[in-house]
């Protein structure tokens, strides 16, 4: 099956692509905006998490790498899913110097390819989203002609071009007080490089809080690798020498995101996360990121109904945001 998919990709693109992704980072370096969802380490994490098969590829024009398409397949029960992040397909990244005519030609071919893959795997529905909150991509607009349903979700951002003082002005009053309390009460460390022992403490805290191992060791190994390759950092909160909270934040050249965290259950009502978020904002500013995506703002009438826990967490996240934006989504039926 995997070989058949690889052959479909190379033949559909006239062999002007590579699945080894050796030039992936080169394309990202030559593009104007890169989200964390386009980092190859992020794709590798999702592939591992969903136990999928990676079929991401780089497209070439005149032997130059011009675009990357994050892509993998996995089985959800008995049904195949074609996706970039486990749920949806996201827009590709192109180098800035590619002309619009060539870009649209590539996108149209890839859209046709995705439909062909879907038919081969008996996939009847594709979910599409637009990750870049600054613009609606032509890739997204191409799928609109085939849409069967659309909806939006709401997302929270911090504009890191603002000064720290300007960012703090947007914090809720309660958050300001709790940030100060957190940073005074506990010691906070930031790891831009981390060894196995220190990272294991984070994983074991997550296991303790969750009550079980929620995912494979391989996914944790990928996240540790992401830190050590300069695409993430870990923040730990210590009470004396005991880790009471920790959070992983992933970032690209342009943006960062709040990936995963854990804190002691008995301290659930304590402001551990407040100080952690402040330190993350400071760190992302220092790294030159333009935006920090704190997370999704859930509402009771969302298309995908949130849990009470998700509503509570998103309310917490909203207290840090300087900007709120919508993300469009499409559902396409494959005939």
pLDDT band for 172, please (50, 70, 90 cuts). Answer: confident
Q: β-strand 255-263 against 291-297: which pairing, if any?
A: parallel
CA distance 174 to 179: 9
Whether 295 is in a domain gets the answer: no
pLDDT for position 335: 85
Give kind and range of the element (H or E) at residue 320. none
Let me know whether 87 and 205 are in one domain.
Answer: no
pLDDT higher than 80, residue 131? yes
pLDDT of 126? 97
> Per-residue confidence at 292, pLDDT binned at 50, 70, 90?
very high
Instruction: Give 75's contacts (C-beta < 8 A, 6+ positions apart).
Output: 51, 81
Report whether 237 contacts 276 (CB < 8 A).
yes
* CA torsion through residues 35, 38, 41, 44, sign: positive
Give the mean pLDDT of 315-323: 94
Cα angle 170-175-176, degrees, rounded to a multiple of 5: 75
- Residues 94 and 169 both lie in one domain: no
Position 168 in a domain: yes
Share of the chain above pLDDT 70, in %: 100
User: CA–CA distance from 150 to each of 297, 328, 329 (Å)?
Assistant: 18, 7, 6
- The answer to the question of residue 297 being in a domain is no
Q: Which two tokens stand for residue 291?
A: 């935006």
Residue 222: its pLDDT value, please?
97
The residue out of 123, 153, 184 marking a domain boundary is 123
* Domain encompassing residue 224: 162-289
The CATH number that applies at residue 33 is 3.40.630
Q: How many domains does the chain have?
A: 2
pLDDT digits (tens, 9 = 90+) for 236-269: 999 998 999 999 999 999 999 999 999 998 887 8
Residue 279 placed within a domain: yes
Alpha carbon distance 218, 220 (integer Å): 5
Predicted confidence at residue 266, as pLDDT, reads: 87
Candidates 186, 219, 180, 171; CA nearest to 316 is 171
CA atoms within 13 A on the CB side of 98: 25
In which band, very low, low, confident or very high, does the pLDDT at 144 lie, cut at 50, 70 and 90? very high
The tokens for 314 are 């998103």
User: What is the pLDDT confidence band of residue 208, given thresholds at 50, 70 and 90?
Assistant: very high
Mean pLDDT of 92-119: 96
Cβ-proximal residues to 180 (8 Å cutoff; 6+ apart), any chain: none
What confidence category does residue 306 fall into, taking pLDDT thresholds of 50, 70 and 90? Answer: very high
CATH code for the domain of 277: 3.40.630.30
Q: Model pTM?
A: 0.95
Residue pair 248/223 in contact by the 8 Å Cβ criterion: yes
- Predicted confidence at residue 286, as pLDDT, reads 97
Q: Report, as an integer, the average pLDDT of 50-74.
A: 97
The pLDDT value given to residue 283: 98
For the chain, the average pLDDT equals 95
62: region left, alpha or beta (phi > 0 left; psi from -120 to 50 alpha) = left
Burial (Cβ within 10 Å: 0-12, 13-18, ≥19) of residue 77: exposed
């Amino acid at each position: 099956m995997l070989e058949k998919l690889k052959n479909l990709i190379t033949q559909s693109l006239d062999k002007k692509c590579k699945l080894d992704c050796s030039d992936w980072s080169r394309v990202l370096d030559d593009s104007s905006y890169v989200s964390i969802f386009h980092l190859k380490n992020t794709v590798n994490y999702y592939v591992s998490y969903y136990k999928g098969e990676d079929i991401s590829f780089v497209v070439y024009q005149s032997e130059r790498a011009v675009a990357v398409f994050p892509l993998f397949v996995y089985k959800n029960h008995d049904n195949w899913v074609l996706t970039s992040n486990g749920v949806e397909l996201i827009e590709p990244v192109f180098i800035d110097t590619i002309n619009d005519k060539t870009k649209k030609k590539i996108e149209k071919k890839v859209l046709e390819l995705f439909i062909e893959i879907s038919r081969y795997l008996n996939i009847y529905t594709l979910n599409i989203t637009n990750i870049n909150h600054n613009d609606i991509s032509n890739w997204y607009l191409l799928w609109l002609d085939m849409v069967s349903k659309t909806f939006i979700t709401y997302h929270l951002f911090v504009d890191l071009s603002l000064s720290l003082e300007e960012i703090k002005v947007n914090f809720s009053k309660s958050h300001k007080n709790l940030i100060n309390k957190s940073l005074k009460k506990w010691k906070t460390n930031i790891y831009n490089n981390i060894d196995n022992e220190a990272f294991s403490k984070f994983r074991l805290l997550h296991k303790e809080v969750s009550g079980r191992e929620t995912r494979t060791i391989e996914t944790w190994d990928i996240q540790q690798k992401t830190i050590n390759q300069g695409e993430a950092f870990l923040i730990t909160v210590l009470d004396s020498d005991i880790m009471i909270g920790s959070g992983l934040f992933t970032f690209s050249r342009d943006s960062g995101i709040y990936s995963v965290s854990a804190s002691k259950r008995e301290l659930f009502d304590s402001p551990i996360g407040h100080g952690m978020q402040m330190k993350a904002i400071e760190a992302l500013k220092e790294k030159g990121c333009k935006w920090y995506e704190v997370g999704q703002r859930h509402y009771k009438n969302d298309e995908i109904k949130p849990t009470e826990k998700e509503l509570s967490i998103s309310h917490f996240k909203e207290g840090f945001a300087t900007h709120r934006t919508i993300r469009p989504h499409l559902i396409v039926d494959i005939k």
